[in-house]
Structure 1
Amino acid sequence: MVEATDIIKRVRQIEIKTRGLSSNIFAGEYHSAFKGRGMTFSEVREYQYGDDIRNIDWNVTARFNHPYVKVFEEERELTVMLMIDVSGSREFGTTWRFKKNVITEMAAVLAFSAIQNNDKIGVVFFSDRIEKFIPPKKGRKHILHIIRELISFTPEHRETNISEALRYLTNAIKKRCTAFVISDFIDEGFEDALKIANQKHDVVALRVFDPREAEMPNIGFIKLRDAETGENYWANTANKKTREAYKKWWHENQENLRTAFSKSGVDNVAVPTNEDYVRALISLFKKRA
């Protein structure tokens, strides 16, 4: 069990790092990439050459006997949902950090970026079922609560069901939101749920993976354990056919994911654990903007 003092220390460390990133790097990019729900009336001003005549306020124009136009501003406030995969596979890592560490930091950056733009932020932790729901709110206190949960939350189950999480999002969140699904996406059969969720909400997929998952090393017989089912089995990694079969499976899996995201119209980015996630997020934001 993680001690309370250790949690507080880690929360503070993550806050300092991710708050700085969201302030200095992501503020403008986030604002441009994730639009508000529409336009709202702000004020009227005198007509200027080039203004859209459809925006003329005829009542004010008649009163002053001079053309005036309505000025609209983007209705900025959004609801942002973080869909956090807490299944067993997030605990894998062969570099200097586990997948769950990258997931935690990215979620914290997005949370701070959201509140700096006056957006509400909520969280859904999911495995093969919904583990915990934190309703959308604003404020630093709320963000720190989210970070504490990201660090210390222990799921009751270890398997993955992305379809279940997406169906929950579709049914539980009534108003349109921006939903970041942060997962390694080691699952299948969630394409229909993804498409339906993205029709109601703006779904963005952040896929975290360890570079070792892409290729099996040649190190002889090794004992492997499935982090989600607990099943143990032996593999002969010295066998070339075994390594090639695994590599083929990985590439087919990645291609299936790309196809699923494309058909569903979901923006996505792959984030390896051995690289800086900042670059990946900025690339995604610029693409959307």
Structure 2
Amino acid sequence: MNPVQLPSRNSQGSFLDPAALMRIKSLELRAKVVVEGLWKGMHRSPYHGFSVEFSEYRAYVQGDDPRYIDWKVLARSDRTYIKKFEDETNLRCQLVIDHSKSMGFGSLGFTKADYAATLGATLASFLMKQGDAAGLTTFADGIEEHMPPRNRPGHLRRIIAELERPAKAAGTSLALSVGQLAELLRKRGMICLITDLLAPVEHLEKQLALLSAMGHDLVLFHVMDRAEIDFTFEKSAHFRDAETGVERFVDPQLVRETYLKRLQAHRETIQAATDRHNVEYHFCPTDQPLEEVLFNFLSARQRKKASKSAAARFAT
């Protein structure tokens, strides 16, 4: 068997170009490359580095019971950490990934579905390496597959195997799918929704409000292809709606300005809805490196945690 050729970084150590990353056929290996690349770029250990929230340890503070100090870590690093109890260590994260027809579009040699699957596999790999639990839900016109959060041998491979399955040919019912998800997820945790959001935001907002009221921590990754964002089409052609099959002859020169205004309005509506319900929002063009998406996600988690800590100190 020939060895797998991994894409290389440039001399500045910049993030991998997604097109180069997607040339790796194995989804599991793509996720591994992204996670390892992020940590190498930050020059930190995944267990004692950037995101304390995802670590199995926390720094010792005055008043902690010294019986729970990890003396092996102290001997290795000259830093004092204590083991977190299970109820404060294990994050439960449900990855919810759009498998509708519109996710099959791509102008860069790979599709939005490829990008979303790689992002989902990367998040699952990262979380489970930190001792947290990850699950997977896929949807189109309703829930397709649902795997509750686990952290046990073989579970990550099950998630990746499901992500590698081709999406079913179905339209999007985002609000219905999220509503069904609320019935499945009774325990509070993090929900990471990965979708192109080609659906009415008004219906989705009601379901996001419901999940937020149930105590879930919501993160939305809005995936769009660069051609959709900039409307880079030049020649007049028949454009077919991937989900309805409706065709329309379009001259890009005539409709580009209107399209871009409507897209901007759509994104502003999404941003306003997520702000209202305290949903963490990440806009992810498919030419954005996955390492950068993960870094932005972790940065947002760190800021959120710091904000909560500051609020708690102020309250006392």
Higher strand share: 1
User: 1:229: which partner in 2?
Assistant: 244
Checking the alignment, whether the CA contact within 8 Å between 1:191 and 1:260 is kept in structure 2 is: yes
User: 1:115: which partner in 2?
Assistant: 128
Distance in 1 between the 2:129 and 2:92 partners? 13
Distance in 2 between the 1:223 and 1:198 partners? 41
1:183 paired residue among 195, 198, 210: 195
User: 2:35: which partner in 1?
Assistant: 22
Is the deviation greater in 161-170 or in 256-265? Answer: 161-170
2:151 paired residue among 105, 127, 138: 138
1:197 and 2:211 matched: yes
User: 1:7: which partner in 2?
Assistant: none
Amino acid at match of 1:73: K
Which structure 1 segments of 5+ residues have no match?
1-9, 40-44, 57-70
**TM-score calculated relative to the size of structure 1:** 0.77
Checking the alignment, whether the CA contact within 8 Å between 1:158 and 1:227 is kept in structure 2 is: no
SS of equivalent residue, structure 1 residue 152:
coil
Distance in 2 between the 1:13 and 1:220 partners? 35
Is the deviation greater in 27-36 or in 103-112? Answer: 27-36
Is the deviation greater in 211-220 or in 89-98? Answer: 211-220
Checking the alignment, whether the CA contact within 8 Å between 2:35 and 2:291 is kept in structure 1 is: no
Distance apart, 1:98 and its partner CA: 1.0
User: 1:87: which partner in 2?
Assistant: 100
- Count of matched residue positions in the alignment of Structure 1 and Structure 2: 251
Distance in 2 between the 1:140 and 1:30 partners? 26
Distance in 2 between the 1:11 and 1:219 partners? 31
Checking the alignment, whether the CA contact within 8 Å between 1:79 and 1:121 is kept in structure 2 is: yes
Distance apart, 1:251 and its partner CA: 0.7
Q: Which runs of 4+ in 1 moved over 6 A?
A: none
CA RMSD of aligned residues (A): 2.8
Checking the alignment, whether the CA contact within 8 Å between 2:55 and 2:130 is kept in structure 1 is: no
Aligned-pair identity (%): 24
1:171 paired residue among 174, 177, 183: 183
User: 2:308: which partner in 1?
Assistant: none
**TM-score calculated relative to the size of structure 2:** 0.71
Closer/same/farther in 2, CA of residues 195 and 30 from structure 1, 3 Å limit: farther
| Equivalent runs, 1:260-271 vs 2, <5 Å | 260-271=273-284
Is the deviation greater in 27-36 or in 212-221? Answer: 27-36
Closer/same/farther in 2, CA of residues 81 and 163 from structure 1, 3 Å limit: same
Is the deviation greater in 117-126 or in 77-86? Answer: 117-126
Distance apart, 1:72 and its partner CA: 8.1
Distance apart, 1:116 and its partner CA: 0.9
Distance apart, 1:33 and its partner CA: 4.9
Distance in 1 between the 2:154 and 2:50 partners? 21
Checking the alignment, whether the CA contact within 8 Å between 1:170 and 1:197 is kept in structure 2 is: yes
Distance in 1 between the 2:299 and 2:53 partners? 7
Amino acid at match of 1:198: S
Distance apart, 1:135 and its partner CA: 2.5
SS of equivalent residue, structure 2 residue 209:
helix
Closer/same/farther in 2, CA of residues 21 and 161 from structure 1, 3 Å limit: same
1:244 and 2:264 matched: no
Larger radius of gyration: 1
2:84 paired residue among 73, 80, 83: 73
Checking the alignment, whether the CA contact within 8 Å between 1:111 and 1:121 is kept in structure 2 is: yes
SS of equivalent residue, structure 2 residue 31:
helix
Distance apart, 1:284 and its partner CA: 2.2
Which structure 2 segments of 5+ residues have no match?
1-22, 40-45, 66-81, 303-316
1:175-212 per-position Cα deviation (integer Å, ceiling 9, x unaligned): 11111101111111211111221232111001111111
